[in-house]
Amino acid sequence: MATQPTGPTPPRDDLQRLITEARENLARRLSVAADRIEVLEATAVIWPDASVGCPQPGLRYRQVPVDGACLRLRAEGRVYEYHSGGRRGLFLCEHPPDAHQGGSPRRDAPPAPPRE
């Protein structure tokens, strides 16, 4: 089943905090400076289930709406997705669903402006 979040939830201050956290996390993972990481998108969403947009094969998830965020960052020519939602803090979604499977978030809320 495709996971498509909708609508805004976290205030912009929360999104900015998540952007900073994601950039710092990715910078550590890649051993690069955080300012070399480009923020492509930061969107508040409501995930349609408890997988928060990053379902693992073979697992079942509660089918309840979950407030969260989806961030897309680019570093060294590659795009990385960070998700958050519910009790689950920010994490790197290493295998996000393909857009052609309908798993990419709908962008119902305007993205937060990247902070340089």
State residue 97's pLDDT score.
Answer: 79
Determine contact, residues 66/47, Cβ cutoff 8 Å.
Answer: yes
Instruction: Give all strands (DSSP E) within 23-110, no chain letters.
Output: 38-47, 66-75, 78-85, 88-93
pTM comes to: 0.75
- Strands 88-93 and 66-75 come out as unpaired
Q: What percent of the chain has pLDDT over 70?
A: 73
Q: What whole-number distance in Å separates Cα of residue 5 and Cα of residue 53?
A: 8
Q: What percent of the chain has pLDDT over 90?
A: 66
| pLDDT tens digits for range 50-77 | 999 999 999 999 999 999 999 999 999 9
| pLDDT tens digits for range 16-27 | 999 999 999 999
